[in-house]
Structure 1
Amino acid sequence: MMKKIYVKLLFIFSILLVIGCFHYQDAMVWIHSKYQVKTKEKNVQVQMSDQVVSIPLEEYLIGVIAGEMPVSFEKEALKAQAVASRTFVLSRDLKVDNTTNSQVYLDDDEMKKKWGKQYAQNKQKIEEAIQETKGEVMTYQGEYISALFFSSSNGRTVNSEDYFTGEVAYLKSVDSHWDTSIDPHNTRSQTFTKQQLANIFNVVPEQIKITSHTSSGYVDKVTVNQKTYTGREIREKLSLPSSCFQIQFSSKGYTFITHGNGHGVGMSQYGAQAMALEKKSYKEILHHYYQNVEIESIDS
């Protein structure tokens, strides 16, 4: 991608030189300065508690993959995560925080605490995944994509507009049937008493009813005493793993049975692991979960 830009700039300035608009040396200085802006070392500005820490991009990715994906996953899954995470942070102009609102990041001390004696080999595995995808990003119509990802689905991913605001062409629902069997915690349940729900909704619930679903099988709308909420709102209010759920009522209260973990938009991490186990490459994984995107290198 960068080579194409460089060639185009040379072509433009060849024309300008012919008509006398630039001297050769001035033109080449300008071209090289523009080219270097594209390829120079990039630092990520990470908001951590009460301070902003500047971390080189490829180094930042080590801590992100350590925080976001099990290191036991196959190398191709880790490589898919590396490209997704690199694209994600670049699409946000290298300014993120250290939470699930952006990407979870572990520093070296946190990785040592998490892995103990396995620290060195685990870090090396992640470093290899990053190095083998160095500079690779996903674009759509020439722009970095919003490379959303999550843990596991109910068997299908979610259309962007069914969870977030607005339709995104490359974030469409796709099959991810592997998730329901490969994720050991795909199905969970959580019970709330009427009083607990009353504290959350500011009204004693007499009836909680799912009234519609999305095309992916996630909850679209729920009524609580005739007031309507989205599936996302219910998930966030109750801190449920997923907005794919059923509701069962008993003498103990309301039990929410959930399927999947995360918002469901973009790449399923457990799905990526399953595809890697089927010997799919990281590029095949990415093209499956992100529709009609290009995988390019910002370092070439």
Structure 2
Amino acid sequence: MKYLLYGVILLLFVMIIIPSIIVMGFSFMKGNDVPHKGAKLVREGSATDIKDTKDFNTINVFVVKENRIIKMNLEDYLKGVVAAEMPAEFEEEALKAQAIAARTYALSKEIAAGGKGCELHPGADICTDYKHCQAWESNAELKEKWGSKYQEYMDKISKAVDDTKGLVIVYQDTLIEPAYHAISGGKTEDSVNVWKSNEPYLKSVVSPGEENAKKFKTTVTVSIDEFIRRIKSKAPKAVLNSKNVLSCIKNIIRTPAGHVESLKIGGACLTGNDIKDLFNLNSTNFTFNLQGRNVVLTVIGYGHGVGMSQYGAEAMAKEGKNYEEILKHYYTGVEIKKFDDLIRKVFDKPSVK
């Protein structure tokens, strides 16, 4: 009986656990997913709606896992963001670039839309849901994730945040929307092609050196029947031929960076995001192939492709580029400035410490 029990456990491991690891993979960088407007600090020489009593040293964070708002020191909060958003193994200059992007995002969320902050969580400036704001992990979570490497990695990330304290990314007196993602696939996207928002600093640029990333190229394989079922769940009127399903895929329109904007499947019009969501793809840069009775979707990149590529930043850092060069490459025409200098300009008040 004992050996029979061992056999059942082994069979379950082979049939369930191992496939789950293969399909789900390991933890990966998140990347902010939902755009918001950058926060303008000065408009035609006059201050915006920012209250001069606002304390920018702290930030009200809605921690999703705890279902509550916690007031945090801004710089301490950023250490949890960088630790969650970028591997601690990355080069120091890449981590610094991430810290500045995360700080810009957090402060612009505090300021934008008259200080309304996180739309999903009233009273919070920002939340820890990476699909809505930015990822963040607590010290307890990081200790569990890093184990014996905790102190080494925490010191490294703390240094990246501390060495860039107060620095933000600005375009014409505006805190930018510092979109970022894991892997662009060799070329980032113009924001107008993804969010219909034509931001002058979110333009398409080349992003070499990403090919070594584990998820630069991924595949998703489904049976022809499952492919048809999922397409029809989104487009019930699609007419699909299971004997030659690829012939039903037509009019694929791509952005200059290679992402699918739209296509027709079985006569039904779908977007690249529709396919991405239906098949849980890492990006909208995909192609279709047929292998026997299966449809194989080959995907390039990871994330929306707009703004800074995190693996691209790592590649630039390995080549000796510093954080300013990295940020100015991925965000066109921007400047890196001290936030307290911008606040003094608005309110003519002492610098924020």
Shared fold, TM over 0.5: yes
SS at match of 1:291: coil
Amino acid corresponding to residue 56 of structure 1 in structure 2: N
Amino acid corresponding to residue 283 of structure 2 in structure 1: S
Q: CA RMSD in A?
A: 2.1
Match of residue 301, structure 2, among 237, 249, 260 = 260
Is residue 132 of structure 2 the alignment partner of residue 91 of structure 1?
A: no
* 8 Å contact kept, 1:158–1:266: yes
* 8 Å contact kept, 1:39–1:299: no
Tell me the distance in 2 between the aligned counterparts of 1:252 and 1:46. 46
**Change beyond 3 A, Cα 1:154–1:40:** closer
Tell me the distance in 2 between the aligned counterparts of 1:98 and 1:38. 22
Is residue 72 of structure 2 the alignment partner of residue 55 of structure 1?
A: yes
2:215 is matched with 185
Tell me the distance in 2 between the aligned counterparts of 1:224 and 1:97. 37
* 8 Å contact kept, 2:220–2:279: no
Structure 1 length-normalised TM: 0.83
Tell me the distance in 2 between the aligned counterparts of 1:213 and 1:83. 32
Match of residue 316, structure 2, among 255, 275, 279 = 275
Tell me the distance in 2 between the aligned counterparts of 1:100 and 1:199. 30
SS at match of 1:128: helix
Is residue 321 of structure 2 the alignment partner of residue 288 of structure 1?
A: no
Please report how far the alpha carbon of residue 211 of structure 1 lies from its aligned counterpart in structure 2 after TM superposition. 1.5
* 8 Å contact kept, 1:170–1:292: yes
Tell me the distance in 1 between the aligned counterparts of 2:98 and 2:56. 23
Please report how far the alpha carbon of residue 239 of structure 1 lies from its aligned counterpart in structure 2 after TM superposition. 1.2
Amino acid corresponding to residue 60 of structure 2 in structure 1: V
* 8 Å contact kept, 1:157–1:264: yes
Amino acid corresponding to residue 134 of structure 1 in structure 2: K
Structure 2 length-normalised TM: 0.71
Query: CA deviation digits over 1:180-203, x for unaligned, max 9?
Result: x23132011111223323443324
Match of residue 200, structure 1, among 223, 226, 230 = 230
Deviates more, 1:94-103 or 1:61-70: 94-103
* 8 Å contact kept, 2:213–2:311: yes
* 8 Å contact kept, 1:248–1:255: yes
Deviates more, 1:116-125 or 1:203-212: 203-212
Flag as ranges the 4+ runs of structure 1 deviating above 3 A.
37-40, 203-206
Gaps of 5+ in 2: 1-41, 111-116, 118-124, 242-247, 342-353
1:242 is matched with 283
Is residue 85 of structure 2 the alignment partner of residue 68 of structure 1?
A: yes
Please report how far the alpha carbon of residue 54 of structure 1 lies from its aligned counterpart in structure 2 after TM superposition. 2.3
Please report how far the alpha carbon of residue 223 of structure 1 lies from its aligned counterpart in structure 2 after TM superposition. 1.3
Please report how far the alpha carbon of residue 140 of structure 1 lies from its aligned counterpart in structure 2 after TM superposition. 1.4
* 8 Å contact kept, 2:61–2:128: no
Amino acid corresponding to residue 297 of structure 1 in structure 2: K
Please report how far the alpha carbon of residue 78 of structure 1 lies from its aligned counterpart in structure 2 after TM superposition. 0.1
Amino acid corresponding to residue 299 of structure 1 in structure 2: D
Tell me the distance in 2 between the aligned counterparts of 1:239 and 1:295. 36
Tell me the distance in 2 between the aligned counterparts of 1:115 and 1:280. 27
Matches within 5 A, 1:27-42: 34=52, 37=53, 40-42=56-58
* 8 Å contact kept, 1:197–1:205: no
Please report how far the alpha carbon of residue 210 of structure 1 lies from its aligned counterpart in structure 2 after TM superposition. 5.4
SS at match of 1:190: strand
Identity of aligned residues (%): 35
SS at match of 1:299: helix
**Change beyond 3 A, Cα 1:196–1:298:** same
SS at match of 2:340: coil
* 8 Å contact kept, 2:56–2:107: no
* 8 Å contact kept, 2:97–2:324: yes
2:197 is matched with 166
**Change beyond 3 A, Cα 1:210–1:121:** farther
* 8 Å contact kept, 2:263–2:269: yes
Please report how far the alpha carbon of residue 170 of structure 1 lies from its aligned counterpart in structure 2 after TM superposition. 0.6
Tell me the distance in 1 between the aligned counterparts of 2:199 and 2:277. 22
Tell me the distance in 1 between the aligned counterparts of 2:302 and 2:180. 11
Matches within 5 A, 1:15-30: none
Query: CA deviation digits over 1:52-72, x for unaligned, max 9?
Result: 222221111111111110100
* 8 Å contact kept, 2:58–2:71: no
2:338 is matched with 297
Tell me the distance in 1 between the aligned counterparts of 2:329 and 2:137. 28
Deviates more, 1:40-49 or 1:110-119: 40-49
Deviates more, 1:165-174 or 1:192-201: 192-201
Gaps of 5+ in 1: 10-32
* 8 Å contact kept, 2:208–2:315: no
Tell me the distance in 2 between the aligned counterparts of 1:62 and 1:252. 48
Match of residue 106, structure 1, among 104, 113, 137 = 137
Please report how far the alpha carbon of residue 40 of structure 1 lies from its aligned counterpart in structure 2 after TM superposition. 4.8
* 8 Å contact kept, 1:163–1:232: no
2:120 is matched with none
Query: CA deviation digits over 1:206-235, x for unaligned, max 9?
Result: 323452111111112121211111212211
